[in-house]
Amino acid sequence: MVMPNALLEKSLNKRVSLFLKDGRTLEGTLTGFDDYMNMVLEDTKEDREESSRKLGVVVLRGNNVVSISFI
Interface with a second copy by CB under 8 A: which residues? 1-8, 12, 20-22, 26, 31-34, 37-40, 44, 55-70
CB distance 37 to 65 below 8 Å:
yes
SS3 label, residue 37: coil
Q: How far is the CB of 49 from a second copy (least distance, A)?
A: 13
CB distance 38 to 24 below 8 Å:
no
Q: How far is the CB of 26 from a second copy (least distance, A)?
A: 7
Q: What CA–CA distance (Å, rounded) separates 20 from 43?
A: 17
Q: Which is nearer to a second copy, 50 or 63 (CB)?
A: 63
Q: How far is the CB of 45 from a second copy (least distance, A)?
A: 12
